[in-house]
Structure 1
Amino acid sequence: MRFIFITVLVGLQSLLSVVAQPLDYYFSDTIKFNPDIAKPSEVLGYEVGEWHVRHDQLVEYLRVLAKQSERIKIETIGYSHEKRPLLLLTISNKEQLENIDAIRKNHIDKLNSTEQKHSDPAIVWMGYSVHGNESSGSNAAMLVAYYLAAAQGEEIDKLLANTVILLDPSLNPDGLARFAQWANSNRGAVLSPDPMHREHVEAWPSGRTNHYFFDLNRDWLLLQHPESRARVAQFHKWKPNVLTDFHEMGPNSTYFFQPGIPSRTHPLTPTKNVELTNELAKFHAKALDGQKQLYFTQESFDDFYYGKGSTYPDINGAVGILFEQASSRGHIQNTANGVLDFSQTIKNQLTTSLSTFDGALSNKLALLNYQRQFYQEAKKLAKEDDFKGYIVSADGDHQKFSAFLDVLKQHQIETYPLQENFKTYTVGDVFIPLEQPQYRLLKALFSEQTTFKDNTFYDVSGWTLAHAFNLPFEKLGSTRNLKLAKQPWSPSQTKQQKNLETAYAYGFSWRQYNSAKMLNFLLSEGIKARVALSEFSAATKTGTLQFELGSIIIPAGVQSKPQWLQVLNYAQNHFDIDITAIQSGLTTQGIDLGSRFMQPVEAPKVLLVGGEGVSQYEVGEVWYHLDKHLGIAPTLVEQSRLPTVRLENYTHIIMVDGRYDHFNDPLTAKIKDWVKHGGVIWGHKRGAKWLLDNQLLKASSISSKEMAEQFDTTNLVYQDRDKLSAKQRIAGAIFATQVDLSHPLSFGLQRSLLPVFKNSTWLLKPAQQPFVTVATYTKAPLMAGYSAPENVAKIAENASLVAHRYGQGSVIAMTDNPVFRGYWYGTSKLLNNALFFGALLTEQGR
C-alpha cells in the first residue's frame, strides 16, 4: 500500500513539473544572458509554459524588454477588432537600430539596384500564432524576444549585426486571448493528460479564429480585417527576405517544416524560392536532430494559395516558411508519441526560431540577391508576356469598385483610371498594367487557371479577385487608343455635401454596394420606404430619370418622423449615395409611385443560428457581413438554445453550413409554423439541405454521396486513395451562374452572369415550376480553380439559388456560401436582397 502511494505521488509530481520549466530547459547552458534584462518569469510571475500566456501579459513583458534593451524598438501597428494592440518589435544591434529608417530605405532602394553589399542586413520577419489556439508560437515568441534582448557573446553579436529582425508575437490577439482563458480556466493544480478532459476540447467558437470567427491565415490576400491590413502594410514597408509562420497541428503528429510537397507549389513561385527553402530546412533539421525530436518535411500542406502567411511572401520576393508543431491543446496531453507537454511544444518552436536565424545568416547574400532579382525580373517577364494588362469595369457600382481597388493598392499594385471611354469600358474604369514590380502577384490575383500539375489542394484552388467582386474584366493585348490618368488610382479624400429640397418623394438606386446599409439605417430611424418591383421613369428637377428594378422610394406623404428630411440628408452624405427628389407621383413611364408594385420594406431582425456542429467560419462570415456591410446586429443563438427562443421576435432566420443535430421534431414544427406565419428562412450548403430534408424547401437535390460515386474506382490501389479523394471533392473553385435579373433576389445586379465560390459537392436541381429557380450554373460553369470534369459536368445547369413562398413566409436556399471569407462582394448581394425583399416572393413551392 505504501509503495502504491509513493508511485502515485511521484507520478503527480511528474505531471506538475513538465510544464513549469526554468529558462535552462529552453536554452543551452552555453548561452549567457544579461542579468539586467528581465526574464519572462520576473514579469509574468510564472515560468514560460506553466500557464498559457494571456495577450495582455505578452504585451506587458515585451514592453518591459523594449524599455530595458537597446536592441529593441517596439511599436503598435494597429488594433484588433477587440482593440488589442498589434505589436511589431524591430530588433538589431544598437548601431543599426539608431539608423533604422536609413537601413530600411536602403533595403527597399536596393530592389532596383544591380549590386548588393555584403554588409547589408537581411530582414527576417518572425510571425507567431495566427491561430489563437495554436499558442505555443506566441509563448515561444517571449523566449525569442528575451534571447535577442539579453543573450551575450559573439554569436548574438554576429546575428544582430547582419540582420534586422521583425517580431510579430501574436498575429491573432483576440483568438489567443480566448484560448488562453479557456485553457487556463479548465486546468487544475494536478494536470490531466486525458484528451477527453474539458481543457483539451474547446467550446464553440474556438480560439483558432479572430473576433468574427475568421481564419486570419486565409486573409493575407483578401485583407478584410484590421490585423491583416496592419501586417501587410508593414510587410511592404520592409519587404522581408524571410517570413516565418508558426502553427500547431493534431496532438498525434510530430513537427513539420517546409519545403512540403514539391508538386503543390504555385507555378508563379520561382524555382530559386524552393531552393532557398530547402537550404533553410537543413538548419531546422540539424537543430531538431540535436534534440532528438521527430519531424517531417515533404508531405502534407502546400505552397499554392497565396493568401496564407507562409505563402504570401513567396509571391513577394521573400521566402515563407511554415512550421507546424503537434499541439498539447492545453498543458499536457496523452498522444500516440507519448505524453506531450506544453513546455516541449514551446521549446520546439523556439528551436526552429533560432535555426531560422542561423539559416538566414548563412544564406544572407543569397536571400538578398534573390529578392533583388525577383523584382528586377518582373519588368522583363511582363514585357515577354502575351498581353499588356487587365482592364476592369466598375459595372456601375463605384463603392464596390473602390473596395476592390483598395485591396490592390494595399498590395502595392497600381491601377490607372480611364480618361476616355474604351470599347465597352467607360471613364473611371481602370487599366492595370502588367509592367510593374508586383507583376507576379497581379497575375496570381487575376488567375483563371483550371488545370494543374497536382490536383490536391490544402486550401482553395481559385480566388480570382475580380470574380469575387463580380466585376467584368479582360486582358488587353494592346494599349493603343487607351487614354489613362497619369497618376495611379487612390481613394477620394473629399465628398461634396448635398442637401435635398422639399419634393413629392425621394428615390435612390439599389445598384451601389452601400445602398442596403443606407436603407437599413433609414428604416431603423423610422423612415418609411418602398421598393420598386417594376421599372419606371419620373420627373426630377434635372429632367426625367430612369429608376431600375429594386430602386428604393421614400414617399414624403407617409413620413411621420419629425425632421425626417434631415435624416435623408445625413444618410446620402454619410453613405455617399445620391438620393434624388421626385416631383410627382405620376411617372412619365411605367408604374406610378402609388402602385401595388411599390412594396413597403421593413428593417430585418435576424436570428443567426450557431453553436456546436455549425461552421464557426460561416457563422462569422455572415455576422461580419451583416455587421460591417449592412449595419445589422444579428441575434446569434446556439442551436441548443433555439427551443427557448421566441421566434416571433425575428423576421429572418439564417442557417449556414453545419450539422443541425439539436433540431428535434418539436423545434422543426416550431420553425415551420414561424415561416407559415410570415418568417423568411435562408439556408446555404447544409443549412439548405436541412430545409430540404425537413420539407420546408420544395425541391430535389443531388447528394454529395451521389457525386462521389460517379468516379470509376476499378483497378485502383491503396496508394490511389488521396488522388481519388482530390477528384471527388471541390477544394474551392469559382463557377459561373446565370441569374434571373427580374427576380427580387437579384435586384441591383447588372449582369445575368454571376460568379460564385463553391467548395461543396451538394447540389440542388432546378425547380420544375417557373419563377422558383433564381440562379442556375451555366453549361460550362468552371471559371477558375480545379474541379474534376465529372463534377463540372454534374454541376452544369443545376440550381444555385432556389426560393419560394411557404404559407405567408419564404424559404430561400443556396448551394454555396454567398459571403465566403468576407470578400465575395458579388454574391453577398443575394443575401442582402433576401433580408430586405425575401418577404415579397409570390410563387408557392410545390
Structure 2
Amino acid sequence: MRGYVFFVLALVISSWLTTLSNSVMAAPVQDYLPDKVKYDPKIPTPEQVLGFELGDHYLRHDQVLRYMQTLADTSSRVSIKKIGQTHELRDLVLMQFSAADMQPKLEAIRQQHIEKLATGQPAQASDVMVLWMGYSVHGDESSGSNAALAVAYYLAAAQGEHVNRLLNNSVVLLDPSLNPDGLDRFAMWSNMHRGSVASADPAHREHIQDWPTGRTNHFWFDLNRDWLLLQHPESIARIEQFHLWKPNVLTDFHEMGTDSTYFFQPGIATRTHPLTPVKNTELTKSLAAFHAQAFDQQGQLYFTQESFDDFYYGKGSTYPDINGSLGILFEQGSSRGKIQESINGVVTFEQAIKNQVTASLSTFQGALINKKPLLDYQADFYSNVDKQASDDPLNGYLLSEKHDSFRLNALLTTLKRHQIEAYQLTKDLTLDNQNYGKDYSYFVPLAQPQYRLIKAIFSTQKQFQDNTFYDVSAWTLPYAYNIEFKPVKRSWGLKTREQAWQVETPKLANVSATLNEQSDYYAYGLPWDDYLAPKFLSLALQAGIIAKVSSEPFNAITQQGQHSFARGTILFAKGVQTQPDWRAKLTKIEQQTALTLLPIKSGLTPIGADLGSRSMYPVALPKVLIIGGKGVSQYEVGEMWYYMDRYLAIAPTIVEANRIAKLDLSRYSHIVMAQGNYDQLSKSAIENITAWVKQGGTIFGQKSGAAWLVDNKLLKTSYLSKKEMADRFETANLTYGEREALQGQQRIAGAIYKTELDLTHPLAFGYSHAELPVFKNSTMLLMPAKAPFTTVAKYTEKPLLAGFSAARNVEQIAKGVTLIAHNHGKGRVIASTDNVNFRGFWYGTSRIFSNALFFSKVYSTKAE
C-alpha cells in the first residue's frame, strides 16, 4: 500500500513539474508585448527566424545578431551599424529605429542634434529625441538581451498611433548585447545544464556557475565599471557612439539576486553624486511613474529608492548623468537559469524577459510624454557650461609627466575619448616653485562643454553627505595614471597651443643605432621608466637575447656623450650574446614598442659601477602561475592576466586551487595569489608551495593573498584583519536602524591613498617620485616586519588623497605597510596590501607587479 501511495504521489509531482515546466518554457513574442497591438506580417518574429520561442533557450550572441540583421533586411524602420568587436572578435552592433522616412536622414538628424547642443540653441518641440536602450552588460544577466529581441520586433513591426508617434519623434538606438563574450559563456552554461523538465532547485548546477562566471568579459572584467575607465574595446566603441549621438535617455538593464523583485530608479537620494543636476533626479522620478503604472497593471512587485545609488560615473546608468543625459538602471530578480525558487515564489526566465520588455516600453511612453522637458534639460545642461566655468574659482588643471610619455598619452587618450580637450604648453611654466616643461605638460581648461565631467574626473573629494557607497568613492584619473596634476586658479603666464591634443598613431622608434649590423657598440641601455619597457624586456628575453639590470645608477658614454642611467636600466651587452642576429632582433622590438635603445660605447663608466660589475644582475623571463578557481576573485585574476597579456606579452598559467597539490611547480618561477579564500588549498598543496619557495621560487600575494602568506608563515610579519579593523568602531549604543551607516564607516569601498616608496629597492625601479597613489578597497592591513630593509612602500602620515575613509581607519592605516618583500630560503616572498592592477586602469602601481616578476632576485633581504 505504501508503495502504491508513493507511486501515485510521484506521478502527481511529475505531472505538476511537467506542467510548471511547460508553462515557463517559452512564449510567442506577442505574449511579451502589449495586448491589442497589430503587427506587420511581413516582419519575421524571433521564433520564425530562430526556430524556437523567446525564453525557450538562452540566446547566444550570434542568434541575437541574426535576428537583428533580419529586421534590418526586412523593415524600413530599422538600420544596423557595426560599431566594434569584442576581445573574442564578436561584432558589436547598434540598432537604429525611426519612422521609415527618417532612416535616410539619420546622419543629418544626428548632426543637427549635436550642433544644437554645441551652439547652445534652445530645444524646440519639433526636435527629435534620442533614446538609447542598452541590455545585459553583465553576460549572465541575459534576460535583457533576450528581451531586446521582443523590443526590436515591436519597434520594427508594431502598428498604431503610439508606435508611430514614438518613431516620428525619436531615434531609438538599441544595443542588444553590451557584453557578447560573457553572454555566450552564460548561454552555454545554462543551456547545457537543463533538460526538457526544468529544475527550480537553487542548488541545481544550472543555477551555480563555474569560475569564471558569465558576468564578465573575455578578460573577466566587469564592463559596467568601465564606462569611464575605457580599458576594453566594448567600452571604447560604445562611448564613441554615445558622444556621436548624446542620447536624452539611456537605459541599462540588469539582473540582481533571485530573492529580489524588480528595481528601477531613482535610487537612494543621498547617494547621488553632487555634480548630477537636481533636475536629472526629478525627470527620473517622472519616468518612474510610468514604470510603476505598467507594473501595477500586471501585478508585478517592484521597488525604488533603495540599494542602488548614482555616485560612481563609470557605470552605464550614471555615466549619462554627467553627460547631459538621463541614465536609468533596471534590475530584475534573476532566475539564473530556466526557473528557480525564491522567497517571492518561482522566478521564471520567461517572466524576467517580460519584465524587461515592460520597462522598455514604459520608458518609451514616459519619454514621449516628457519629451520637451527632456530636450530642455539637455539643452540647459550644455548651455550653462560657460557660466559654471566662469563662476568656478579654478581655471583648469595642469598635467605633467617628464619620464614616461606612454602613461601621459594614455591619460590624454582617455580624456579625449570623453570629449575632454587638453592643450600642450608652448612655454615652460613655473607655478608654486614647481616647473612644468612645455615638452611634457598639458593644460585642461574647465571652460569647455565637458565641464562637469572634468570636475568629476579630477575630484579629490573626501567628505560626503552619505558615506555608504554601492561602488567606489574615488576614481581620480591622474592619480590612477600616476601623473602629476595641479589645480590652476589663474592662467596668467600659461601659454598653450591653439589646437587641442589629438590621439596619434604611435611613431616608430629611432632605430638607426641598431639597424647597422656592423655597429660595434659595447652595449645598449633600456631605461626602465617607460611603461612599455617591461614589454620590451619580455620580448627580448623571448627572442633569446641576454639581459641584465643595473641595481645602482651609473653614467656611461653614449653617442651624445656622457649619459646618466637610473637604477633599473636594462643592459644588452655585446659580449654575452649568443644569438648572431641579436641586434636585428632588438631593432624589431624597438619598432614594436616605439622605444629607443641608447648605444653605450664602453663598459668602463665615468661614474658608478662598470657594466661588468656584480651590481648588474641577470634577468630571466618569468614563468607565472596564477592560482584561481572558485573562491578567488575573478576580477583580480583577470586584471593580472590582462596586464601581463597586454603590457608584458606574457601568457600566465591560471590553475584552480584544487589542482595545486598534484602540480609540478618546478616549471614556474612565480606564483601569484589575488584576493580570495584559499582554505581549499590542501595540506599537501601548502607543503608543495612552501618547498617550492624555499628552493628558489617567488610568491606574490595581494590583499587576502598576502594574509595567506602570513598565516602560512611564508611572510614574516602580521596583519590586521577586516574584523580587527571593524572592531575599532563603537557599537554599544547604536540602534538597529544605524547598522548600514556603521557598515559604511567600517569598510573602505574604494578610496585613494598616498604611499611612500623606497626608490632604492628593485621593486621600485622605474619610479622617479617617492610618493605613489594607490587604490584601496580593503581594510586588511599589513604590519611592518621586524627585519630591516623589508618595507618597500608604506602609507604616509596623512594618506587619504580622495574618496571616503572613516577617520579611525585612516589613523590606523597611516604609516602602515602597503608593500613588503624578503627572502624565504632561496626564494622570495612579496606581499601587497592593495590591488596593484585595479580595473586595468591603475597604471601607476602596475609597474610594481612587473618589477616583482622581473626583479625579485635582484634584492636579498633576510626576514629575521
TM class, shorter-chain normalised?
over 0.9
Query: Which residue of structure 1 lines up, in the alignment, with residue 72 of structure 2?
Result: 66
2:511 pairs with one of 486, 489, 498: 498
Query: Which residue of structure 1 lines up, in the alignment, with residue 579 of structure 2?
Result: 561
Aligned-pair distance for 1:113?
3.2
Aligned-pair distance for 1:708?
0.4
3-state DSSP of counterpart to 2:855: helix
CA contact (8 A) 2:658 2:682 kept: no
CA contact (8 A) 1:220 1:307 kept: yes
**CA offsets, 1:447-482, max 9 Å, x none?**
000000000000000100000011111111111111
Q: Distance in 2 between matches of 1:586 and 1:646?
A: 44
Query: Which residue of structure 1 lines up, in the alignment, with residue 44 of structure 2?
Result: 38
**CA offsets, 1:168-215, max 9 Å, x none?**
000000000000000000001111000000000101110000000000
Aligned-pair distance for 1:562?
2.2
Aligned-pair distance for 1:259?
0.3
Amino acid at match of 1:499: S
3-state DSSP of counterpart to 1:210: coil
Q: Distance in 1 between matches of 2:402 and 2:304?
A: 46
Query: Which residue of structure 2 lines up, in the alignment, with residue 352 of structure 1?
Result: 359
Structure 2 matches for 1:138-287, cutoff 5 A? 138-287=145-294
**2:469 aligned with 1:440, yes or no?**
no
**CA offsets, 1:270-328, max 9 Å, x none?**
01101110101011001111100000001111000000000000000000000000000
2:665 pairs with one of 634, 647, 653: 647
Moved more, 667-676 or 453-462: 667-676
Aligned-pair distance for 1:662?
2.1
Q: Percent identity?
A: 54
3-state DSSP of counterpart to 1:738: strand
Structure 1: tracts of 5 or more residues without a match: none
Query: Which residue of structure 1 lines up, in the alignment, with residue 330 of structure 2?
Result: 323
Query: Which residue of structure 1 lines up, in the alignment, with residue 393 of structure 2?
Result: 386
Aligned-pair distance for 1:109?
0.8
2:31 pairs with one of 8, 20, 25: 25
CA contact (8 A) 1:459 1:732 kept: yes
Amino acid at match of 2:184: A
Q: Distance in 1 between matches of 2:465 and 2:25?
A: 45
Structure 2 matches for 1:497-646, cutoff 5 A? 497-500=510-513, 501-646=519-664
Structure 2 matches for 1:381-780, cutoff 5 A? 381-423=388-430, 424-427=435-438, 428-493=440-505, 494-495=507-508, 497-500=510-513, 501-780=519-798
CA contact (8 A) 2:755 2:796 kept: yes
Q: Distance in 2 between matches of 1:131 and 1:10?
A: 33
Query: Which residue of structure 1 lines up, in the alignment, with residue 516 of structure 2?
Result: none
Q: Distance in 2 between matches of 1:803 and 1:6?
A: 65
**2:796 aligned with 1:790, yes or no?**
no
Aligned-pair distance for 1:116?
1.9
Amino acid at match of 2:491: T
Amino acid at match of 1:40: P
Number of residue pairs aligned between Structure 1 and Structure 2: 846
Moved more, 565-574 or 215-224: 565-574
CA contact (8 A) 1:395 1:472 kept: no
Q: Distance in 1 between matches of 2:190 and 2:267?
A: 31
Query: Which residue of structure 2 lines up, in the alignment, with residue 109 of structure 1?
Result: 115
Q: Distance in 2 between matches of 1:746 and 1:757?
A: 17
Q: Distance in 1 between matches of 2:16 and 2:255?
A: 30
**2:304 aligned with 1:293, yes or no?**
no
Aligned-pair distance for 1:10?
4.1
3-state DSSP of counterpart to 1:152: coil
Q: Distance in 1 between matches of 2:97 and 2:135?
A: 16
Aligned-pair distance for 1:28?
2.6
CA-based RMSD of the aligned residues comes to 1.0
Aligned-pair distance for 1:496?
5.4
**2:31 aligned with 1:13, yes or no?**
no
Moved more, 638-647 or 532-541: 638-647
Aligned-pair distance for 1:769?
2.1
Q: Distance in 2 between matches of 1:783 and 1:603?
A: 36
Amino acid at match of 1:457: F
Aligned-pair distance for 1:520?
0.3
Aligned-pair distance for 1:840?
1.8
Amino acid at match of 1:8: S
Amino acid at match of 1:425: Y
3-state DSSP of counterpart to 1:637: strand
Aligned-pair distance for 1:6?
5.0
**2:855 aligned with 1:814, yes or no?**
no
Amino acid at match of 2:48: E
**2:836 aligned with 1:823, yes or no?**
no
**CA offsets, 1:483-502, max 9 Å, x none?**
21111111333445422233
CA contact (8 A) 1:243 1:320 kept: yes
Q: Distance in 1 between matches of 2:448 and 2:330?
A: 32
Q: Distance in 2 between matches of 1:448 and 1:637?
A: 39
1:335 pairs with one of 321, 342, 367: 342
Structure 2: tracts of 5 or more residues without a match: 514-518
Aligned-pair distance for 1:657?
0.3
Query: Which residue of structure 2 lines up, in the alignment, with residue 310 of structure 1?
Result: 317
Q: Distance in 1 between matches of 2:639 and 2:391?
A: 40
3-state DSSP of counterpart to 1:452: coil
Q: Distance in 1 between matches of 2:694 and 2:427?
A: 53
CA contact (8 A) 1:608 1:655 kept: yes
Amino acid at match of 1:84: R
Aligned-pair distance for 1:7?
5.8
Aligned-pair distance for 1:228?
0.2
Amino acid at match of 1:434: L
Aligned-pair distance for 1:381?
0.5
Aligned-pair distance for 1:763?
0.5
Q: Distance in 2 between matches of 1:668 and 1:324?
A: 42
**2:53 aligned with 1:47, yes or no?**
yes
Q: Distance in 2 between matches of 1:522 and 1:292?
A: 65
Q: TM-score, normalised by structure 1?
A: 0.99
Amino acid at match of 2:227: W
Query: Which residue of structure 2 lines up, in the alignment, with residue 122 of structure 1?
Result: 129
Q: Distance in 2 between matches of 1:185 and 1:125?
A: 33
Aligned-pair distance for 1:16?
2.3
**2:83 aligned with 1:77, yes or no?**
yes
Moved more, 501-510 or 63-72: 501-510
Distance 1:554 1:3, change over 3 A: closer
Amino acid at match of 1:450: K
3-state DSSP of counterpart to 1:104: helix
**2:105 aligned with 1:99, yes or no?**
yes
Q: Distance in 1 between matches of 2:655 and 2:384?
A: 53
3-state DSSP of counterpart to 2:307: coil
Amino acid at match of 2:569: S
Moved more, 593-602 or 93-102: 93-102
**CA offsets, 1:81-136, max 9 Å, x none?**
00000010011011111101110000001112333221111100000000000000
Aligned-pair distance for 1:421?
1.2
CA contact (8 A) 2:258 2:333 kept: yes
CA contact (8 A) 2:509 2:590 kept: no
Amino acid at match of 1:401: L
Amino acid at match of 1:295: Y
Q: Distance in 2 between matches of 1:459 and 1:573?
A: 40
